[in-house]
Structure 1
Amino acid sequence: MGMSNTPSESGQRRERFLFLGSGLLLLTVVLLGFAKAQRWGTSFVDVYIKARDVNGITRGEDIRIAGLPVGQVGDLRLNKKGKVHVQLRIETDKAYLIGPRSKAHLAQEGLMGDPFVVISADPRPEEQSAAINGSTIPFQEPVSVDTLMKQLQRTQKELHATLRNTTALTASNGSLKATLDATHQLAQTMNSQVSATAPVMREAMGSVAADVHAVSESTEAVEKETLSLIRETRPLVEQTIKDTDELTRSSKQVIDLLHNVLGPWLEPADGRQPEPH
């Protein structure tokens, strides 16, 4: 009679089967996950981009349209002109979203996340999905951080130079601001003098006319000639006074405007008024 298996041997065989079964199950799960990540069994169409610098683009990197993955980056090849030819593998059932106006650029999840390629959508009929196969779409290369830092430094230098020039101008504003103040005061003086002189001139002209009329009573011809002369010259004199008055007001308005516009820029940097010399 053959020897029957002992309970200990049966337990060991059962443990061995459980170990092998769990290992096979784990291996199957890993293979399924890898196949899903690599999109095994999915058909693709190839789209290409050309870039001078592919820093941040790697093989297997996600390709997204409107935030959803539609493919992966394939091969990267350097051509004879020094540009990199990048293969973008797009799932066939989503290739209709890419059209002639589509563009690609590099993006990143947050500040420290993984980079990915983004393609702008330009939908076409679904039956034309394969029409994009083998075509090249434009690629907007990312701006270099070094370039941005250099531009920022140059902008800061220009800003500092402008501030220094403005400070120097406002600090030495004595001559220009004094000239504007003096011109403003002169315009006010001219206006007041003309306003005060005009009535006196009109009164003097009236007095002269009265005197001439009194004297001319003895000689009618002289009276007519004198009155005619006064009638001819009086409008000219009055018009001259009006023109002078109008010119003075216009000059004052222009000077006030210049003083209001340029005055704040000519104030000293610390807000103090310039000391009198």
Structure 2
Amino acid sequence: MTLSPRQQGHRKDRLLFLGSGLLLVVFVLVGFAKAQRWGTRFVDIYIKASDVNGLNHGEDIRIAGIVAGQVGTMHLDDQGDVKVTLKIEENKAHLIGPSSKASLAKEGLIGEPYLVITADPRPREQAQEIQGRTIGYDEPINIDALLKELASSQQLLNLTLRNTTALTAENGSISTAFHSTRRLAESLQKEVTAAAPVVRESIASVAKDVHAVSQSTEAVEQDTRSFIQETQPLVVESLKDADQLTRSSQELIDILRHLFGSWLEPVNGGGEDVLEKQSSMPQEEQPIPRQE
């Protein structure tokens, strides 16, 4: 059956439309496969967090700014913690170790969030050892709580500013205190200026007296040293003479004791013997005492 030129044109258009649609589907599938990393081998590791706000399934995982995997499933356990699976490309798994930590980041202020893992490189042969392990996770700051604290701080700051403004007003307490302090400083300066010459003269006089006393002390010290040096030989000679005199006196005493020792003995026993001798002598032989 022969088709008319018009029918042939319609058929050609349909084939072109189908081919374009098929090509578009292929491109979509290729892009989806690339986004889902079909055909890529992964190593699963885990993180635990009490709050996973900002983490979503399929988010990129980056190491040193390079995409190294994606966020997997999330599971809420009985303790209220969330266990998140991180799917890391096998050829980059050796960059993660026990010291690695995960944290949430964002591209700019309103960009897409992503997960960052700090590197802890190990040999490539040990890449599979990280399989199934749990690494640390630094939870992001709670923006709502931070904004509430900021609002509270702003209120306190405004109150402080109002109080400061009231204190620094023209008739405020701080101004009065400043004026009183200035007057006190001026009066102190006047008194110090008036007393400075007297104090200076007193210090100079005391310094002169101290210098004079020091000189007198030095002179006395020198005189004393000279006197000691001059009298030392005389004292030594006097001591020698005294020692010689002592020895001579001792020798004289020994000589006298040797000569008159019998006269110096006690008279008790000796007196009785003399009386006995006198009584035994005849009467005529007794000596007659001499009249002086």
Note closer, same or farther for the CA distance 1:194–1:152 as it changes in structure 2 (3 Å cut).
same
Correspondence list, 1:7-86, <5 A: 7-8=4-5, 17-86=15-84
Note closer, same or farther for the CA distance 1:200–1:101 as it changes in structure 2 (3 Å cut).
closer
- Which deviates more from structure 2 when the two are superposed, residues 90-99 or residues 103-112? 103-112
Correspondence list, 1:184-195, <5 A: 184-195=185-196
Aligned to 1:150: 148
Correspondence list, 1:120-139, <5 A: 120-139=118-137
Q: Name stretches of at least 5 consecutive residues in structure 1 with no aligned partner.
A: 202-233, 240-277
Q: Name stretches of at least 5 consecutive residues in structure 2 with no aligned partner.
A: 211-292
Q: Within 1, Cα distance between the matches of 2:151 and 2:106?
A: 25
Q: CA RMSD in A?
A: 3.2
TM-score of the pair, normalised by structure 2: 0.59
3-state DSSP class of the match of 1:173? helix
Given the alignment, which residue of 87, 90, 93 partners 1:89?
87
Correspondence list, 1:89-238, <5 A: 89-170=87-168, 171-173=172-174, 176-195=177-196
Q: CA deviation at 1:93?
A: 0.5
Q: Within 2, Cα distance between the matches of 1:45 and 1:191?
A: 83
Q: CA deviation at 1:148?
A: 1.7
- Which deviates more from structure 2 when the two are superposed, residues 57-66 or residues 156-165? 156-165
The one-letter code of the counterpart of 1:39 is R
Q: Within 2, Cα distance between the matches of 1:16 and 1:5?
A: 18
Note closer, same or farther for the CA distance 1:189–1:79 as it changes in structure 2 (3 Å cut).
same
3-state DSSP class of the match of 2:115? strand
Q: Within 2, Cα distance between the matches of 1:96 and 1:199?
A: 81
Q: Within 1, Cα distance between the matches of 2:87 and 2:201?
A: 98
Q: CA deviation at 1:29?
A: 2.4
TM-score of the pair, normalised by structure 1: 0.62
Q: Within 2, Cα distance between the matches of 1:190 and 1:20?
A: 107
The one-letter code of the counterpart of 1:106 is L
Equivalent pair of 2:48/2:81 in contact (CA under 8 Å): yes
Count residues in correspondence. Answer: 204
Q: Which of the pair has more CA radius of gyration?
A: 2
Q: CA deviation at 1:72?
A: 1.3
Equivalent pair of 2:45/2:86 in contact (CA under 8 Å): yes
3-state DSSP class of the match of 2:178? helix
Equivalent pair of 2:102/2:136 in contact (CA under 8 Å): yes
3-state DSSP class of the match of 2:85? strand
Q: Within 1, Cα distance between the matches of 2:196 and 2:18?
A: 117
Q: What is the percentage of aligned positions where both structures have the same residue? A: 50
Equivalent pair of 2:44/2:132 in contact (CA under 8 Å): yes
Note closer, same or farther for the CA distance 1:189–1:85 as it changes in structure 2 (3 Å cut).
same
3-state DSSP class of the match of 2:32? helix
For residues 211-252 of structure 1, the C-alpha deviation after alignment (integer angstroms, 9 at most, x for no partner) is: xxxxxxxxxxxxxxxxxxxxxxx859x89xxxxxxxxxxxxx
3-state DSSP class of the match of 1:59? coil
